Structure 1
Amino acid sequence: MPHAERGMAVGLFGGSFNPPHEGHLLVAEIALRRLGLDQLWWMVTPGNPLKSRLELAPLADRLAMSEKLVQDPRIKITAFERTLETSYTAETLAFVKARNPHVNFVWVMGADSLKTFHLWQKWREILSTFPLAVVDRPGSTLSFLSSPMARAFGHARIDEDDAGVLWKKQAPAWTFIHGPRSALSSTALRAKADSKS
């Protein structure tokens, strides 16, 4: 797990990153800037319960590709979840919170994840652990209005103009951040690679 000093604002950006691409990097950079973060932990997950293990590249490969893609020293590439022996975000966030009680964390995710967020194990618990920043992705701009999460936690949404103080808010609190978007997706990149082989 990366080191963070007391009082820092740190974004937690988890995913399969299978493979990592410029769209992921854009989400990370937008989060750093708009949320006023000191660091962002790019958490490469060992697996994803909602995705097939068959299509998942080895963790070491996804880590190496992430390290090659990311140049900003504030973005810390990590795969500490492999030592937790869990693939559930709620358990990871509870562990992070217990180990870093004096750090201000924000969970960061792309808007494309909102469609299935209510299917994640203990998704309501996730929203009660840390504030959440949802960063716009192509084709997902309106998902923050229609997703079960957005409807259930509409009362906890803060205005995008206040995104810079989201890390100071008590969970549940969340915001939707508009901005530049990349049309790249891991699914499309895998399909392109498969068609060449």
Structure 2
Amino acid sequence: MKIGLFFGSFNPIHVGHLIIANSMANHTDLEQVWFVVSPQNPFKKNNSLLHEFDRFTMVERAIAENFKLKATDIEFNLPKPSYTIDTLVVLAEKYPQHEFVLIMGEDNLVQFENWKNYQQILDYYALYVYPRPNTAPHNFKNHPKVKFVEAPLLDISATFIRKLLQENKSIKYLVTEPVEDYIKIKNFYR
């Protein structure tokens, strides 16, 4: 099975994430997209990050009715911060029957050469890249392992959603109802 891996903190998961994952699952040769919930991104500060189990629960709630989307907590038992190459090695060992592909925004491609063992990632894995507005130039436009995939662009960020919640404003339609309900029940991001 060919599986796209969509890494992120998903703090919280929002409709922009879901539209990208669904586009990848339905408009490419991927059979499934797995949301890899990262406990800690080496490039991001950890200040407003919810506990990984809460973020994982929100992802599961958001995708519950879509059999092509799956959540994985594979990084929860790996050393922190999480490095993509280490996760890929563990996934390849655990699921040798699958072919894994990385899904990322073009904005991440700009800094891809700063990733741990990025060349090794490119040697063994394809990258499916969705466009992002105002992306700086990068060296991967014509790379044989990099495939650009059209996906609807929504300029929604988890940072913006957290800000709305802190201001006691509505996040309706920015996240799914099950995620919104969970955030309210748990009183997150206040």
What TM-score does the superposition give when structure 1 sets the normalisation length?
A: 0.77
Question: Tell me, what secondary structure is at the counterpart of 1:118?
Answer: helix
Q: What's the counterpart of residue 150 of structure 2?
A: 178
Q: Does 1:147 align with 2:138?
A: yes
Q: Does 1:98 align with 2:100?
A: no
Structure 1 residue 112 displacement after superposition: 3.0
Q: What's the counterpart of residue 82 of structure 1?
A: 76
Q: Does 1:17 align with 2:10?
A: yes
Map of 1:153-192 to 2, 5 A cutoff?
A: 154-156=142-144, 173-192=145-164
Q: Confirm or deny: 8 A CA contact 1:16 1:46 kept in the other structure.
A: yes
Stretches of 4+ aligned residues off by more than 6 angstroms: none
Question: Tell me, what secondary structure is at the counterpart of 2:101?
Answer: strand
Equivalent residue letter for 2:74: F
Q: What's the counterpart of residue 47 of structure 2?
A: 54
Report the aligned-residue RMSD: 1.8
Equivalent residue letter for 1:63: F
Equivalent pairs, count: 167
* CA distance in structure 2 between the partners assigned to 1:155 and 1:80 by the alignment: 29
Q: Confirm or deny: 8 A CA contact 1:93 1:129 kept in the other structure.
A: no
Q: 1:104 to 1:116 in 2, by over 3 A?
A: same
* CA distance in structure 1 between the partners assigned to 2:108 and 2:51 by the alignment: 22
* CA distance in structure 2 between the partners assigned to 1:123 and 1:186 by the alignment: 26
Structure 1 residue 94 displacement after superposition: 1.5
| Identity fraction in percent | 34
Q: What's the counterpart of residue 104 of structure 2?
A: 109
What TM-score does the superposition give when structure 2 sets the normalisation length?
A: 0.79
Q: Tell me which of 67, 76, 87 is aligned to 1:73.
A: 67
Question: Tell me, what secondary structure is at the counterpart of 1:56?
Answer: coil
Q: What's the counterpart of residue 36 of structure 1?
A: 29
Structure 1 residue 122 displacement after superposition: 1.7
Bigger proportion of residues as helix: 1
Gaps of 5+ in 2: 169-189
Q: What's the counterpart of residue 5 of structure 1?
A: none
Q: Confirm or deny: 8 A CA contact 2:74 2:87 kept in the other structure.
A: no
Q: 1:179 to 1:76 in 2, by over 3 A?
A: closer
Question: Tell me, what secondary structure is at the counterpart of 1:113?
Answer: helix
Deviations 1:38-81 (A, max 9, x none): 22111101111111111211111111211221131221111111
Q: What's the counterpart of residue 195 of structure 1?
A: 167
